Structure 1
Amino acid sequence: MKRETMMPNKPQADQHNEDWENLRRPRNYRQRHPFRRILILAIFLLILGGGWSLWKRIQPTQHFANLKTISHPKKDYHQAKGSFNALIIGSDERRGQTSGHTDSMMLVHANLAKHHYTVLSIPRDSRIYMPNLGYTKLTSVQSVYQDKYGSKKGITMAVKTISNYLDVPINYYLETNYWGLRSMVNAIDGITINLPFKVRLTHPWYPKDYDKTFSQGKHQLSGKMITEIVHERDSVPGTDFGRQRLQEAALVGIVNKVTDPANALKIPALAKSMSKFLIATNLKTTDMISIGLAVKGNFDAQKQVHYLQLNGKNEVLYDDILENYNEEIVLNRKRLKKIISQDFEK
């Protein structure tokens, strides 16, 4: 009689574990498992592809192309890829206020592809015509429009008026005040400012700073002292023109600090916190990051930045806004036109 070979029974514990695993797994587990891997891989590739696409879009020559302008004084104007014009406004607006006078103004042309930058300081007492309102000083334009139309619309209208006045398209504007500049400098742990001449504080924000003196040359200063220095004009050569040079020196100090390779990883965080430093701007976070990529580790103010000042004739003229006679600067329009065509249309 043939004996059957009997397979030994599995131990009870092993059988129990196998039954438990079968209960936990779906019936089509073996069929679904490869699909899940493919799905995860596809999601990973999409994320990677999206990141690469974003990286390409924020490259300066790609990001700053076919830009919109706040106004169009020149129909035939052509901007090179990787370039833009920005208006930087320093106002005397205080906390809680919705309007302010312009204390300082700089027009910046940045060609990020060629690493060439032009900074044009515009005197705040320049005589300017406001459509349907008349002649006044540049310092009053912002205040008039903001009092009439509100803070946001007012600053946009002021930028449009200045764009037409200078006869140059403007892509971006940035407005800051005392508190904004102070916060910005403090956020980057102070800056090194190279003073072009001796500065003595004659009308500081804080009375205790009165008569403080800073020698010509480099100084490592906090936000508080930087704002005191760029506000000074009575003790410096050329008064308003001297103050413009101090503001330019502060701007260089800020850019030098931000573009230091050691601070490269701080650029995105700094860009996101710009609302603390700027009262108003149409710059987006991606704009700031793209600019940071362009200048990171490749910024040399002495070689790459070209500083210009607008000069004019001082005259006592009637101010239609203030309804009185006061001293204003009548700019040399011929020289202004030459500067714009040579330095802001590349």
Structure 2
Amino acid sequence: MGFFKRRWKQILIGGLSLCTILFGLGFYEYYHIQPEHHFKHPPTISSDQVIADSDSDSASEDQEKIKAANALRNIPKLKENVLNILLIGSDERKGQHAGHSDSMILLHADLNKHQYNTVSIPRDTRVYLAGYGYTKLTSVQYIKQATSGSKAGIEAAVSSIMQLTGVPINYYVETNYEGLQSMVEALGTVDVDVPFDVKLTHPWYKENKDKIIKKGTQTLDGKMITELVHERYSLKRVDFDRQLLQEKVLVAIAKAALQPSNFTDLPHLVSTTSNFLIGTNMSNTDILSLGLAVKSLNPNKDIHYYQLTGHSETLYDDILKSNNSQLILDQDNLQQVMTHFR
């Protein structure tokens, strides 16, 4: 009888110990997934290779390369619980292994103040790529992917934007048109505040040729969302108007994702991110924690959109070995806007 009592006592103590350990692990995970703890010291994407390549050259060989490296060295870190995320839309098609950075939106998330700033980086912006020379920003990812692989292409695009803007980037999230379509389809449809009539002159799907998406609030499915963010040739201000459309779509997706019916399914949506993304340095835990951070976000009030200005010039492209139209950003405007991303 005494043996059985001792045995049950051992089992009981063991069970309680296991429950205590599991509870402790659960509390640990819960604590560390909370945004104020998880993003206290977010990583900054490194440009060590770019800097190392620049250091290997003498000043007389390539002044621009050394200038680029110095610009990256001098980028300050952000405060605790403040992070910059680069959203990249690639024109990479299914089965391909390289694509151009067709759209780039920089998102600044201040989790202390619950404020979110966004700015579109124009695809035709003139930038310097170490080892190649001057080219359009959209070409940086493509040429590096074609020569050095997918990750190198994304990191080169990120480095170019950090060098251009003078602000650090902690995370990148890349999707393509198929991924964006899948993302919207997972949400059902989204309501977009379309600021002007948009004629689809260069559609992703041939059957949508010359269709018009009317001004006003439009309920759009995944296919039409991809058409909306892709169109630029029919727009009055071309890329600048396309950036505005992309900002409207970003807000619409945020509003749809934060609906109670979708937000409660956040863990499932996070687990299926591979259906939407073709590249990211964010873990599923990072994405889940960020989702918790924005759960009370009001997209109409808490997201502030900024736009960069500049002028187009016909200049020599060192990658394409020919002249093309490139955008020269207004430096005063650039520096003023970037104060909202530091």
TM-score, normalised to structure 1's length? 0.88
In the other structure, the counterpart of 2:43 is 68
In the other structure, the counterpart of 2:241 is 242
Q: Displacement of 1:220 after TM fit?
A: 1.2
In the other structure, the counterpart of 1:343 is 340
Matching residue's letter, 1:38:
I
Q: How does 1:263-278 map to 2 (within 5 A)?
A: 263-278=262-277
- Taking the aligned partners of 1:137 and 1:154, their CA distance within structure 2 comes to 14
Point out the structure with max Rg over C-alpha.
1
| CA shift digits 1:6-65 (9 cap, x unpaired) | xxxxxxxxxxxxxxxx9xxxx822211112111111111111121111111111111111
In the other structure, the counterpart of 1:131 is 130
- Which stretches in structure 1 are left out of the alignment for 5+ residues? 1-21
Matching residue's letter, 1:115:
H
Matching residue's letter, 1:311:
T
SS in 2 for 1:68: coil
In the other structure, the counterpart of 1:141 is 140
Matching residue's letter, 1:46:
I
- Taking the aligned partners of 2:153 and 2:209, their CA distance within structure 1 comes to 34
| CA shift digits 1:265-306 (9 cap, x unpaired) | 21111111111111100111111111111111x111221111
In the other structure, the counterpart of 1:299 is 297
1:174 aligns with 2:173: yes
- Is the 1:60–1:113 Cα contact (8 Å) retained in structure 2? no
Q: Displacement of 1:115 after TM fit?
A: 1.4
| CA shift digits 1:114-144 (9 cap, x unpaired) | 1111111111110001112110011100001
Give the root-mean-square deviation of aligned CA atoms: 1.5
Matching residue's letter, 2:244:
R
- Taking the aligned partners of 2:237 and 2:46, their CA distance within structure 1 comes to 32
Matching residue's letter, 2:322:
N
- Is the 1:74–1:169 Cα contact (8 Å) retained in structure 2? no
- Is the 1:200–1:212 Cα contact (8 Å) retained in structure 2? yes
In the other structure, the counterpart of 2:185 is 186
How many aligned residue pairs are there? 318
Match for residue 320 of structure 1 among 310, 318, 321:
318
Q: Structure 1 pair 102/78, CA: closer, same or farther in 2 (3 Å)? A: closer
Q: Structure 1 pair 76/280, CA: closer, same or farther in 2 (3 Å)? A: closer
- Is the 1:201–1:212 Cα contact (8 Å) retained in structure 2? yes
Q: Displacement of 1:76 after TM fit?
A: 6.8
| CA shift digits 1:156-213 (9 cap, x unpaired) | 2221222222211111001111110001100111211111111111111122111211
- Is the 2:75–2:167 Cα contact (8 Å) retained in structure 1? no
Match for residue 49 of structure 1 among 24, 29, 32:
24
- Taking the aligned partners of 2:330 and 2:194, their CA distance within structure 1 comes to 28
- Is the 1:71–1:164 Cα contact (8 Å) retained in structure 2? no
Matching residue's letter, 1:268:
P
1:28 aligns with 2:3: yes
Q: Displacement of 1:326 after TM fit?
A: 0.9
| CA shift digits 1:208-267 (9 cap, x unpaired) | 111211221111111011001111112223111111111111111111111122222211
Identity fraction in percent? 46
Q: Structure 1 pair 93/70, CA: closer, same or farther in 2 (3 Å)? A: same
- Is the 1:130–1:136 Cα contact (8 Å) retained in structure 2? yes
Matching residue's letter, 1:257:
A
